[in-house]
Amino acid sequence: MPPEAKRGSVRDITIVGEEVLGRPCREVTEFGTPELSALIDDMFLTMHVADGAGLAANQIGIGLRLFVYDCPDDHGIRHVGHIINPVLDLPGPDSRRLIDDLEGCLSVPGATMTVPRTDHTIARGFDKDGGPLVIEGTGYFARCLQHETDRLAGHTYLDRLSTRDRKDALRQMQDRQEDVFAQRANKAARLNR
């Protein structure tokens, strides 16, 4: 568990269809505050309890451009951190390589679908104290950076699917979400012992 998670509190995760997930998030303008640090800690613990690789602030109902991640790349290297006000640099059409792979989302509990994403990206933004960050992602970690940045723009991976695949994902969620919620509740309860 990342050290931030040990300081945090578990928050409820918003579910697809909730208004906060469908609108672009606001830029963070105040850095270095205790409130921002506490939000990041809460996001790490919430992500950990839900077995996620990334979590955007709007997934806990806060419409700010911020996400946390604890995600491996395709070489098994674990990347743990946060980024505020991220902007992605994606490869140009000549050097872009799309990878079709399964993708899920904590706000679409229990559903996974194949989504094409580039295998490389660079995210530029800031840390919680306002220091500049440049994060390079490859493979699965690049997918995570793209997925979470989409989320901050008010999009879910469902928006990248055909109508038929979107309906399939929502059916999967309907069938599996109660089990997912039970697993999250059990993990949270074990942490509180």
Question: How much of the chain, in percent, has pLDDT values that exceed 70?
Answer: 99
- pLDDT band at residue 191 under the 50/70/90 scheme: confident
Given a cut of 90, is residue 94 above it in pLDDT? no
* Core vs surface per residue 138-165: b (16+ CB within 10 A) or e: bbbbbbbbbbbbbbbebebbbebbeeee
- Per-residue pLDDT at 92: 78
Q: Are 71 and 140 within 8 A, CB to CB?
A: yes
Q: How far apart are CA 25 and CA 124, in angstroms?
A: 16
Sign for the CA dihedral angle at 170, 176, 178, 182 comes to negative
CA distance 131 to 135: 13
**Average pLDDT rounded to a whole number, residues 69-80:** 93
The pLDDT-based confidence of 149 (bands split at 50, 70, 90) is: very high
Q: Is the pLDDT of residue 2 over 80?
A: no
- Report the pLDDT value the prediction gives residue 145, as an integer from 0 to 100: 98
CA distances in angstroms from 135 to 42, 92, 114, 117, listed in the order given: 22, 18, 24, 17
10 Å CB burial of residue 31 (0-12, 13-18, 19+) is: middle
Each residue of 8-59: pLDDT tens digit?
899 999 999 999 999 999 999 999 999 999 999 999 999 999 999 999 999 9
* Range in 2-6, 178-182, 188-192 with the lowest mean pLDDT: 2-6
* pLDDT greater than 80 at residue 91: no
Q: Which residues lie across from 66 on neighbouring strands?
A: 84
Spot the catalytic one: 35, 103, 148, 178. Answer: 148
| Statement: residue 130 has pLDDT above 70 | yes
Q: How confident is the model at residue 169 (pLDDT cuts 50, 70, 90)?
A: very high
- Indicate the pLDDT class of residue 68, thresholds 50, 70 and 90: very high
Q: Are strands 120-126 and 112-118 parallel, antiparallel or unpaired?
A: unpaired
> Where is pLDDT greater, at 62 or 93?
62
Angstrom distance (rounded) from CA 143 to CA 149: 10
pLDDT > 90? residue 7: no
pLDDT of residue 6: 82
The pLDDT value given to residue 193? 67
At position 189, the amino acid (one-letter code) is A
Q: Crossing angle, helix 34-49 and helix 163-191, to 10 degrees? A: 100
The alpha helices in the chain, defined as continuous H runs, are 3-7, 34-49, 139-152, 163-191
Residue 148 annotated in active site: yes
